[in-house]
């Protein structure tokens, strides 16, 4: 009997439907709920070993157990916490292939004339320094591993269009895109790709909380936020965003399907930041006319 040639077996497995990350090791910050949790599940379903790094211990442990992953308490604002999260991946599986810098906070709102600068500084520590910490230690591990890798950062549509977020939040999210492009220039020589995802109107806990605050409806459901976004924040008739949409975008950027994509900001907004359309208004008027 001829010996089995397994040279390309691992690559072939990665091309199978549902196995696009077979054997890859990923760290996801803010992975205990929302976008991070949805992505952790999708990555695991596609064959990845996932380390969930978060400060929501109960949720994080339960999710990690359910997907065969690992959990670590990690405040991304603390550089040592981020270093420990990367080290967990290395000690568990010996390598790091994917870093999803997803953790972030909304921070203070209000007029620029009376911003609380202590709150602004804290937001920048989490949203910008936290991303930088993740990039730093992921890059170290990936360079040492000599296998390339994918670093993904969560930005926001607020980074590319004014008026979609508070001033401090907008500042932090645009800074992330600049940092991503700068890091991609350095790390490309090692085969490490660095990209951003900029979601718009995803009914995560953070966005739903913001809607509850500004609309004064503390019992507002995620489905209501999704409906509002679908009606006014998308060019796709009645179609709002979901955490699964972002998870699938992260899967694409993490996988070999995006092997020639780096320094790119993938905007998930249903076309909202690219064009202003009156078609949804016209359609609504037509529908109302039919029922008169």
Residue 234 in domain = no
* CATH code of 161's domain: 3.40.50.720
Find the domain containing 161 and state its range.
Answer: 9-203+239-273
* Predicted pLDDT at 13: 47
Query: What is the number of structural domains in the chain?
Result: 1
Q: Quote the CA–CA distance of 54 and 68 in Å, as a whole number.
A: 17
pLDDT attached to residue 109: 84
Kindly state whether residue 108 falls inside one of the protein's structural domains: yes
Q: What is the mean pLDDT of the chain?
A: 87
3-state class (DSSP) for residue 37: helix
Residue 105 lies in a domain: yes
Asked if residue 83 is part of any domain, the answer here is yes
Q: What is the distance between the alpha carbons of residues 193 and 180, in angstroms, rounded to a whole number?
A: 10
Residue 277 has pLDDT above 60, yes or no: no
Q: Is 291 within a domain?
A: no
Residue 39 in any domain: the answer is yes
**How far is CA 249 from each of CA 13, 42, 103, 172, 266, rounded to the nearest angstrom?**
20, 10, 16, 21, 8
**What Rg, from alpha-carbon coordinates, does the chain have?**
20
Find residue 70's DSSP bridge partners.
Answer: 51
Q: Which residues are catalytic?
A: 169
| pLDDT confidence band for 3 (50 / 70 / 90) | very low
The pTM of the full predicted model, rounded to 2 decimals, is: 0.86
Asked, for residue 228, whether it belongs to a domain, the answer is: no
Range scoring the smallest mean pLDDT among 52-61, 122-131, 156-165, 270-279: 270-279
Distances (CA, A) of 122 to 72, 105, 165, 168: 22, 10, 17, 10
| pLDDT 10s digits, 128-142 | 999 999 999 999 999
Instruction: Please state which of the ranges 32-46, 61-75, 153-167 shows the lowest mean pLDDT.
Output: 153-167
Residues linked to residue 268 through DSSP beta bridges, in sequence order:
199
Query: What value does the mean pLDDT take over residues 270-287?
Result: 64
Asked if residue 224 is part of any domain, the answer here is no
């Amino acid at each position: 009997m001829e010996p089995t040639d397994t040279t390309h077996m691992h690559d072939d497995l990665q091309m199978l439907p549902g196995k696009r990350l077979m054997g890859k090791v990923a760290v996801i910050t803010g992975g205990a709920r929302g976008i991070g949790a949805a992505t952790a599940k999708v990555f695991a379903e596609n064959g990845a070993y996932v380390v969930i790094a978060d400060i929501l211990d109960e949720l994080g442990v339960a999710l990690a157990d359910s997907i065969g992953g690992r959990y670590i308490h990690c405040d991304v604002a603390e550089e040592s916490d981020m270093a420990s999260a990367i080290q967990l991946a290395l000690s568990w599986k010996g390598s790091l292939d994917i870093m999803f810098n997803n953790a972030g906070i909304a921070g203070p709102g209000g007029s620029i004339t009376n911003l609380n600068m202590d709150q602004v500084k804290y937001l920048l520590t989490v949203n910008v320094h936290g991303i930088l910490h993740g990039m730093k230690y992921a890059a170290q591990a990936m360079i040492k591993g000599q296998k390339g890798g994918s670093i993904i950062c969560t930005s926001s549509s607020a980074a590319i269009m004014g008026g979609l977020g508070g001033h401090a939040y907008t500042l932090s999210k645009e800074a992330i895109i600049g940092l991503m492009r700068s890091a991609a220039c350095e790390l490309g020589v090692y085969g490490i790709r660095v990209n951003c995802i900029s979601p718009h109107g995803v009914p995560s806990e953070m966005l739903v909380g913001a809607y509850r605050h500004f609309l004064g409806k503390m019992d507002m459901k995620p489905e209501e936020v999704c409906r509002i976004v679908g009606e006014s924040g998308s060019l796709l008739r009645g179609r709002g965003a979901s955490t699964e949409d972002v998870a699938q975008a992260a899967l694409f950027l993490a996988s070999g399907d995006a092997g020639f994509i780096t320094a790119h900001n993938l905007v998930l907004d249903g076309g909202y930041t690219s064009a202003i359309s009156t078609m949804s208004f016209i359609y609504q008027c037509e529908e109302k006319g039919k029922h008169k």
